[in-house]
Amino acid sequence: MENLGWGLQMTVLGMGLVFALLAVLWAILNLILKLDQEEAEPVTALEATQAAEQIAAVADGAVGAQIPEPATVNGMRADLVAAILVATMQHRRVLRRQAAPMMRSYWPGSQLFASRWVAAGRTRQNNNWQPKGR
Amino acid sequence: MENLGWGLQMTVLGMGLVFALLAVLWAILNLILKLDQEEAEPVTALEATQAAEQIAAVADGAVGAQIPEPATVNGMRADLVAAILVATMQHRRVLRRQAAPMMRSYWPGSQLFASRWVAAGRTRQNNNWQPKGR
Amino acid sequence: MENLGWGLQMTVLGMGLVFALLAVLWAILNLILKLDQEEAEPVTALEATQAAEQIAAVADGAVGAQIPEPATVNGMRADLVAAILVATMQHRRVLRRQAAPMMRSYWPGSQLFASRWVAAGRTRQNNNWQPKGR
Amino acid sequence: MIDQETIGLLLKGVNNVTWQSLVMIGVSFVLLYLAIVKDYEPLLLLPIGAGCLLANLPLSPLIGEEGMLVALYHMGVGNEMFPLLIFIGIGALTDFGPLLENPRLVLLGAAGQFGIFLTLILALLLGFTPNEAASIGIIGAIDGPTSIYVSGILAPHMLGPITVAAYSYMSLVPIILPPVIHLMTTKEERLIRMPYSSRKISRRTRILFPIIVTVLVGTLVPFATPLIGMLMLGNLMKESGAVERLTKASAAEIANTVTLFLGLAIGSTMVGADFLKPSTLFILVLGLLAFALDGCAGVFFAKILNWLSGGKINPIIGAAGISAFPMAARVVQRVAQEEDFENFLLMHAMGANAAGQVASVVAGGVVLALMGAGG
Amino acid sequence: MIDQETIGLLLKGVNNVTWQSLVMIGVSFVLLYLAIVKDYEPLLLLPIGAGCLLANLPLSPLIGEEGMLVALYHMGVGNEMFPLLIFIGIGALTDFGPLLENPRLVLLGAAGQFGIFLTLILALLLGFTPNEAASIGIIGAIDGPTSIYVSGILAPHMLGPITVAAYSYMSLVPIILPPVIHLMTTKEERLIRMPYSSRKISRRTRILFPIIVTVLVGTLVPFATPLIGMLMLGNLMKESGAVERLTKASAAEIANTVTLFLGLAIGSTMVGADFLKPSTLFILVLGLLAFALDGCAGVFFAKILNWLSGGKINPIIGAAGISAFPMAARVVQRVAQEEDFENFLLMHAMGANAAGQVASVVAGGVVLALMGAGG
Amino acid sequence: MIDQETIGLLLKGVNNVTWQSLVMIGVSFVLLYLAIVKDYEPLLLLPIGAGCLLANLPLSPLIGEEGMLVALYHMGVGNEMFPLLIFIGIGALTDFGPLLENPRLVLLGAAGQFGIFLTLILALLLGFTPNEAASIGIIGAIDGPTSIYVSGILAPHMLGPITVAAYSYMSLVPIILPPVIHLMTTKEERLIRMPYSSRKISRRTRILFPIIVTVLVGTLVPFATPLIGMLMLGNLMKESGAVERLTKASAAEIANTVTLFLGLAIGSTMVGADFLKPSTLFILVLGLLAFALDGCAGVFFAKILNWLSGGKINPIIGAAGISAFPMAARVVQRVAQEEDFENFLLMHAMGANAAGQVASVVAGGVVLALMGAGG
Ligand code: NA
Ligand code: NA
Ligand code: NA
């Protein structure tokens, strides 16, 4: 059991160090971001996901990045499913918009509407699996 | 003459080995192709040559593959000659086709007719020399 | 001061050698060019500069070639300035051309006129600085 | 003259076939099958499989003295240069923006390294030496170059199976992670939506980030300097925008060439008796365990953060803290959408994932430091 | 201080010009002329010519200790890595489909190697040692990397002239082969048309082919493992379609870089007294003979096959069995069309040509095995 | 068991921070700042800065035995291979046409090397050894690879500051040259327009040029053979048009990879006590002086030519004789246009500039010869 003791010490020291280092990093990052004085502002889910997808798409080019295969959802092409999803969300938004000006969450000319097909494409990449249990 | 004897033994053993190895390879290839169960089916000369040319064109990209220079036949641009050749063969086929439906060897919409200009281009690469004795 | 003497000898010998070698090269180059029997013929400033710019643009691709940054002249975009310059020179030439046919230095269809926008672009690369003292 | 001896030479190949070499050729076929048919990390597993095949053919001159595969090994595996060069390319394609927008996610990356140490303990109990146990644990970094680098220093005789395990499990992320997540979370937790915010990260910050990480990690854990230094060098080149040619070369030409050479060289270490030991099986099983434990720890820690933040953090993004950028983040997003098609967690998961990338490297350095390697 | 000695140093260059170096500089000019003006295999002959020129300048530091050309030699010629890397690229661009469609053509590839052994005998009679004779014979493989690999092991002191001969003759295929064919065949034979058939070769078969060839040849002729292994590795990467980046890198970036380095390094071995010997002339003449004998043997064997098959095989496709893929096949097609513009033999010739590629490598391994090299 | 010693290991990094390493990290920040923010030759200065940073982190394994940066140094700096490979790429992108059209401009290139020797004298007076003084002088070649090559042979311990100086000053050409020109010329001189002539340079001449220069310089100054040989090899490949793949590979893939490795390796030599000496400051100052003196000498010599030719040569094109192709020529063109927007001197300046490129290499070889290096 000497080994076990040593192993436990390793674990405590090791994870402690990893956490400590990343905590210091966290502190420093916060400091830098303070200097930038750019405030975080809320965006929509689609916008955030689009931006994230672009980042992921670049990283897919790395060796060992595991680019996923073309996807199906329930046997349907995932990009089709995503397009339907976006169309549905879009429809809901249009309804909301028509309800009353004050209810609009997006103004005409919003980037979001302009890029909905991009969104569909990006989202497609995001859906490369067969949902569990179906 | 000791050397000669050794050399002859080398030749017999060497060529014997090379033939033996390639014969074994032949046997194995036949076996695999049996598993594939794809039957060889007759194609036209042009189709076969086109396919072969595509393969050769890719291999031309290898270091030391000796890509041939642009060609002339009897002082004429080889691609022109090839185009004439293909046009002639095509004309003969059209005549045959017009003779009687049952004589057609190609049906309308055949890939072959669609790609005759490709054929001309490919054949051109194939004709990069000055025919002997003219 | 022994060092100084050695250094001076180095300088004399070194520069002597460099000059001697390049002089030999000069002689050989003249010899080869004689064999070429191509006479130097006068061209316009724009033509010479265009040709030189093309050479410089290729060399910019070398590691350590120091591609200059986009330029401004007097706070104006340098390409705009260059375009104005070329337009002015062009205008002067048109005037000259309209004066009398015999005075034309360029014939209609000259390469030079066709490529004046290219000239503007090339010249732009050439003007990436803030003129001194303005 | 040609005599019995010469003819003996001709049959030497066949005479030197051993059952170990046959089994290893079988192993190479499995690797090629995984790479080509199953598409498991083919860029690495195909060359590894080919290297393994070529090294196990009888009397293969490729692994003889001056053999090409041995030369490739000395060129970049023995001195750890190949995994470091690959790291430059990975850094050149990694965008730490999602992490910079949400810096507290770095802690999720730390949590995702727990499996390394738990597996280390298990391996010790199974009788591996400390160096071997640490090398096996490092499979739990779920990061190919880190695994190669660390095990190449601590236990080069196990480089083959460890690399195979590391890359195979990286490619199994979409298969292994979802059940781990389901095991660790309730449906309610998986349904948590997180607020989406965006912060313009200045170019200055993006350039400072790799420099700061290098100095910080390099000073505190010198053993991590090569790994973090190269990852961050690639990132600095990318974010600076000043050396596009070098960035591209690192991510393309250099990465491709090195990957081919690295795979062949590592495959060539998988020879006969050295590989066919129960320990190889243990390595594969323990590596898988390390992976699963990483995911559990990441999710568990995210649950704590969720509790601390009053329910604002979906615990499943903790699973992206294991590294395997950007695949782990994509898998987390999938799992979220399985339950609620309109739940978009990708940006948060990418942040945790980028943190996992950094944390994996840090953990690799910490393990080397604790083992006193080279010290 | 600067004195007589220093000034002597300055004239050292001119004082060290020898008639041998002048002749060799002349040889380098011939090589550059062939490469640039005659377009003979310029990718190899231009670097070889440049290497030869730079190595024969007086007191050239490039071939001194630590000189760059020496470093390049050690980097990849001494250990045979460069020709093997080039073989990966060749494999990545070679399509064995025409051979798979018509497997019996492999035998034509075997026949096309006869010249190797006949030349070996002649070289022995001319007084070359067995190792040298075998190296000269291998020019008859009409395959650059194979010649470099084999002669680099058996007779590295003859690497320069053998490589120059191998690549020069490869580029002379369109000039040498037609008269050989005409000598060996009648007009009636050349007019034979062959049936065109097509068989869809499954992806599985295409992937299995390189693996089977590697295992088969590697087991029976271990000395051929490096050559056949790398050729087939390239082909496996191509046919698998799973590692496009690596396939492209092998056929482009790696192949280009290695070709430049290989040519320079080989050119640098062509120095003075070592090269200017009657043996160099013999090498060139014997190599040419080996080439012609290959063609003759190929055609002769195809005539036998034609006779066995009852006149269904045009004997001239045997000439494509010499390797030099795909040029030899194109030349055969030309010769056929010279007599009958509608006779298309390219597909069959490509099959024989691909077989010649494999057979050349096998023959290289067999020669090494028979010489007991490294055994 | 884990004990005091282990914990000591963990603090080892922090404990080994020295003021020298802190200063050097500061220096690396300056280099990165120059590269990224000021855009000073970023392709070299960014890797140099990164290498300097990574080498000065406490206990950095990258510069330990078998460390990656040390391996890169041995791969191509110690044996001078990297600067020579970069020269192939430079040659492949350099068009000597403007020089061939106007061969007498070669003399301007010679004049632009004066600074090398004047600085050498100054350095000697400041107490540097002859080898060191020559290495410092060679900064005045204003040519990166030449500086690296020469100082790598004569004074490898000063490789870091000399390389940094060489590339920094190359990027300062647009800032340093104009005042030098103004100091040396009157407005009247700067306004001189030169006749524009064009001569079709035949392909034969373009191909002969690199061969002749190689043979001439290589025979008379053997020490210059590697530098001139590689520059002219690249140019021969380009002008021959026969090996486009190799030309492209030299100018792109090889150049990019080598530049990254070279920069990192050179940066890694800039470690602590070796760098932080007054001599480093002297090197930087003397290098700058060498640069300015080059420009002065070039302009002065052009003034003589102008006087000899009866006022037909604008003296400012002499400033382009310093090398730094094609930037110096562009700067000269600018200066001319500042005074007269329609004065186009670019073609003449390019000729002088190409001559400066050749002359710099020749001067490098002459310096090596005079120092009897390796002799
Ligand atoms: Na990890
Ligand atoms: Na052959
Ligand atoms: Na210079």
- DSSP letter string, E129-142: -HHHHHHHHGGGG-
Residue B65 is predicted with a pLDDT of 64
* Token digits of residue D93: 């394609």
User: E4 touching C, CB under 8 A?
Assistant: no
Q: Distance (Å, rounded) from C-alpha B72 to C-alpha B124?
A: 9
Residue E6 is predicted with a pLDDT of 65
Angle of CA points F65, F69, F73, to nearest 5°: 95
- Pick from E48, E10, E6, E53: nearest CA to E272: E53
E342 with B28: Cβ contact below 8 A: no
Beta strands at C41-42 and F197-198: parallel, antiparallel or unpaired: antiparallel
Q: How confident is the model at residue D351 (pLDDT cuts 50, 70, 90)?
A: very high
Domain-located, residue D309: yes
Task: Transcribe F188-233 into DSSP letters.
Answer: HHHH-----EE----HHHHHHHHHHHHHHHHHH-GGGHHHHHHHHH
Q: Say if residue E76's pLDDT is above 80.
A: yes
Contact C74, C130 (CB under 8 A): yes
What number of other Cβ atoms are within 10 A of residue B89's Cβ? Answer: 17
Task: Transcribe D195-248 into DSSP letters.
Answer: --EE----HHHHHHHHHHHHHHHHHH-GGGHHHHHHHHHHHHHHHH-S-HHHHH
What number of other Cβ atoms are within 10 A of residue F307's Cβ? Answer: 11
Q: How confident is the model at residue B128 (pLDDT cuts 50, 70, 90)?
A: very low
Residue range D75-103: mean pLDDT, rounded: 93
With a CB cutoff of 8 Å and minimum separation 6, the contacts of D277 are none
Residue range A77-101: mean pLDDT, rounded: 51
Residue B45 is predicted with a pLDDT of 78
Give chain D's domain count: 1
Residue A1 is predicted with a pLDDT of 58
Residue range E266-288: mean pLDDT, rounded: 90
Residue range B89-102: mean pLDDT, rounded: 48
Say how many Å lie between the CA of residue E349 and the centre of ligand 1.
54
Residue E90's alpha-carbon distances to A18, E93, E326, E348, F188, in angstroms, are 48, 5, 11, 20, 63
b/e for F264-276, b at 16 or more Cβ within 10 A? Answer: bbbbbbbbeebbb
Residue E211 is predicted with a pLDDT of 97
Domain-located, residue E316: yes
Query: What's phi and psi for F174, nearest 5 deg?
Result: -65, -20
Q: Distance (Å, rounded) from C-alpha B106 to C-alpha B119?
A: 16
* Token digits of residue A35: 């200097």
Q: Say if residue A108's pLDDT is above 50.
A: no
Q: Distance (Å, rounded) from C-alpha E294 to C-alpha E139?
A: 10
Q: How confident is the model at residue F153 (pLDDT cuts 50, 70, 90)?
A: very high
Domain-located, residue D57: no
What is the per-residue pLDDT across F28-83, written as a single tens digit (0 to 9) for each? Answer: 999 999 999 998 889 999 999 999 999 999 999 999 988 999 999 999 998 999 99
* Token digits of residue F96: 């000597």
pLDDT more than 90, % of chain F = 78
Contact C4, F120 (CB under 8 A): no
Contacts of E7 in chain C (CB under 8 A): 13
Residue C35 is predicted with a pLDDT of 83
Query: What's phi and psi for E197, nearest 5 deg?
Result: -130, 160
User: D17 touching E, CB under 8 A?
Assistant: yes
Burial (CB count within 10 angstroms: exposed 0-12, middle 13-18, buried 19+), residue E55: buried
User: D154 touching A, CB under 8 A?
Assistant: no
Q: Distance (Å, rounded) from C-alpha A53 to C-alpha D326?
A: 9
Q: Distance (Å, rounded) from C-alpha E292 to C-alpha D22?
A: 42
Helix (H, G, I), strand (E, B) or coil at C130: coil
Residue in chain E lying closest to D263 (CA) = E246
Residue in chain F lying closest to C29 (CA) = F103
What is the per-residue pLDDT across D314-325, written as a single tens digit (0 to 9) for each? Answer: 999 999 999 888
Say how many Å lie between the CA of residue F230 and the centre of ligand 3.
17
Domain-located, residue D141: yes
Q: Distance (Å, rounded) from C-alpha D225 to C-alpha D217?
A: 7
Residue A37 is predicted with a pLDDT of 74
Q: Say if residue B82's pLDDT is above 90.
A: no
Element (H, E) at E71: helix E68-72
Contact F76, F265 (CB under 8 A): yes
Q: Say if residue A102's pLDDT is above 80.
A: no
Q: Distance (Å, rounded) from C-alpha F347 to C-alpha F352?
A: 9
Q: Say if residue E139's pLDDT is above 80.
A: yes
- Pick from F223, F240, F220: nearest CA to F232: F240
Q: How confident is the model at residue B115 (pLDDT cuts 50, 70, 90)?
A: very low
Query: Tokens 């080995």 identify what position?
Result: B17
Say how many Å lie between the CA of residue D239 and the centre of ligand 2.
52
Domain-located, residue D357: yes
Burial (CB count within 10 angstroms: exposed 0-12, middle 13-18, buried 19+), residue D319: buried
Q: How confident is the model at residue B86 (pLDDT cuts 50, 70, 90)?
A: low
Q: Distance (Å, rounded) from C-alpha E250 to C-alpha E256?
A: 9
List the domain range (segments joined by +) for residue D355.
Answer: 79-254+278-371
Domain ranges of chain A: 1-37, 73-126
Q: Distance (Å, rounded) from C-alpha B121 to C-alpha E348?
A: 20
E43 with F243: Cβ contact below 8 A: yes
Nearest Cβ partner for E242 among D14, D42, D259: D42
Residue A4's alpha-carbon distances to D128, E196, F52, F127, in angstroms, are 12, 72, 42, 63
Query: What's phi and psi for F104, nearest 5 deg?
Result: -65, -15
Residue range E100-108: mean pLDDT, rounded: 90
What is the per-residue pLDDT across C16-71, written as a single tens digit (0 to 9) for each? Answer: 999 999 999 999 999 988 887 777 777 887 788 888 888 888 888 887 665 544 44
- Per DSSP, C101 falls in state G
Q: Say if residue A64's pLDDT is above 90.
A: no
- Of A49 and D307, the structure prediction assigns the larger pLDDT to D307
Residue F2 is predicted with a pLDDT of 55
Chain B contacts in chain E segment 92-111 (CB below 8 A): 93-95, 97-98, 100-101, 103-104, 106-107, 109-110
Residue F3 is predicted with a pLDDT of 63
- Per DSSP, C102 falls in state G
A38 with D201: Cβ contact below 8 A: yes
Q: Distance (Å, rounded) from C-alpha D161 to C-alpha D184?
A: 29
Q: How confident is the model at residue F9 (pLDDT cuts 50, 70, 90)?
A: low
F1 with A10: Cβ contact below 8 A: no
Q: Helices marked H in D241-326 — which ranges?
A: 244-249, 255-267, 272-275, 278-308
Residue A115 is predicted with a pLDDT of 35
Give residue C54's identity as a one-letter amino acid code.
Q
Say how many Å lie between the CA of residue D320 and the centre of ligand 1.
9
Contact E26, E18 (CB under 8 A): no
E10 with C17: Cβ contact below 8 A: yes
Nearest Cβ partner for C60 among F195, F326, F342: F326
Q: Distance (Å, rounded) from C-alpha F102 to C-alpha C90?
A: 28
What is the per-residue pLDDT across D110-120, written as a single tens digit (0 to 9) for each? Answer: 999 999 999 99
b/e for C45-73, b at 16 or more Cβ within 10 A? Answer: bbbbbbbbbebbebbbbbbbbbbbeebbb
Q: Which of A9, A15, A21 to mutate to test the interface with F (most CBs of F within 10 A)?
A: A9
* Token digits of residue C34: 């004689």
With a CB cutoff of 8 Å and minimum separation 6, the contacts of E316 are E181, E185, E189, E190, E299, E302, E332, E335, E336, E345
Residue E129 is predicted with a pLDDT of 93
Helix (H, G, I), strand (E, B) or coil at A27: helix
What is the per-residue pLDDT across E230-243, written as a single tens digit (0 to 9) for each? Answer: 999 999 999 999 99
Q: Say if residue C114's pLDDT is above 50.
A: no
Phi/psi-derived region of residue E310, left when phi > 0, alpha when psi is between -120 and 50, beta in every other case? left
Say how many Å lie between the CA of residue F113 and the centre of ligand 3.
5
Q: Which residues sit opposite F197 in a β-bridge? A: C42
Element (H, E) at C28: helix C2-36
Q: Say if residue D191's pLDDT is above 70.
A: yes
Q: How confident is the model at residue B121 (pLDDT cuts 50, 70, 90)?
A: very low
Q: Which residues sit opposite A77 in a β-bridge? A: A72
Burial (CB count within 10 angstroms: exposed 0-12, middle 13-18, buried 19+), residue D14: exposed
User: B6 touching D, CB under 8 A?
Assistant: yes
Q: Say if residue E347's pLDDT is above 60.
A: yes
Residue D108 is predicted with a pLDDT of 92
pLDDT more than 70, % of chain E = 97
Residue F366 is predicted with a pLDDT of 92
Q: How confident is the model at residue D183 (pLDDT cuts 50, 70, 90)?
A: very high
Nearest Cβ partner for C55 among F97, F251, F358: F97
Residue D155 is predicted with a pLDDT of 94
- Of A132 and B45, the structure prediction assigns the larger pLDDT to B45
Strand boundaries in chain A, DSSP class E: 41-42, 72-73, 76-77
CA A47 to chain centre: 9
Q: Do chains A and B touch (3 or more CB pairs under 8 A)?
A: no
- Of B35 and D123, the structure prediction assigns the larger pLDDT to D123
Cis peptide preceding E326, ω within 30 of 0: yes
Helix (H, G, I), strand (E, B) or coil at E246: helix
Q: Say if residue F235's pLDDT is above 90.
A: yes
Q: What is the mean pLDDT of chain E?
A: 91
First to last CA, chain D: 58
Q: What is the mean pLDDT of chain F?
A: 91
Q: What is the mean pLDDT of chain D?
A: 91
Give partners of C (≥3 CB pairs < 8 A). E, F
Helices (H) and strands (E) in chain D, counts: 21, 1
Chain A contacts in chain F segment 5-44 (CB below 8 A): 6-7, 10
Helix (H, G, I), strand (E, B) or coil at B41: strand
What number of other Cβ atoms are within 10 A of residue D98's Cβ? Answer: 26
Residue C33 is predicted with a pLDDT of 86
Is the ipTM of this structure higher than 0.90?
A: no
Residue B5 is predicted with a pLDDT of 86
pLDDT more than 70, % of chain F = 97
- Pick from C64, F257, F233: nearest CA to E260: F233
Say how many Å lie between the CA of residue F80 and the centre of ligand 1.
40
Q: Say if residue E62's pLDDT is above 50.
A: yes
User: E364 touching B, CB under 8 A?
Assistant: no
Residue A107 is predicted with a pLDDT of 38
What is the per-residue pLDDT across E167-196, written as a single tens digit (0 to 9) for each? Answer: 988 888 988 999 999 999 999 999 999 988
In angstroms, the separation between the Cα of residue D62 and the nearest Cα of chain E is 6
User: C113 touching F, CB under 8 A?
Assistant: no
- Per DSSP, E38 falls in state S
Q: How confident is the model at residue E252 (pLDDT cuts 50, 70, 90)?
A: very high
Q: Say if residue C113's pLDDT is above 80.
A: no
Range with lowest mean pLDDT among B46-50, D47-51, D76-80? B46-50
Contact E317, E302 (CB under 8 A): yes
Residue A65 is predicted with a pLDDT of 64
Say how many Å lie between the CA of residue F360 and the centre of ligand 3.
4
What is the per-residue pLDDT across C64-102, written as a single tens digit (0 to 9) for each? Answer: 665 544 444 444 444 455 555 555 555 555 554 444 333
* Token digits of residue D301: 């820690």
Helix (H, G, I), strand (E, B) or coil at D66: coil
- Of C68 and E26, the structure prediction assigns the larger pLDDT to E26
Domain-located, residue E6: no
Q: Distance (Å, rounded) from C-alpha E209 to C-alpha B114?
A: 33
Domain-located, residue F152: yes
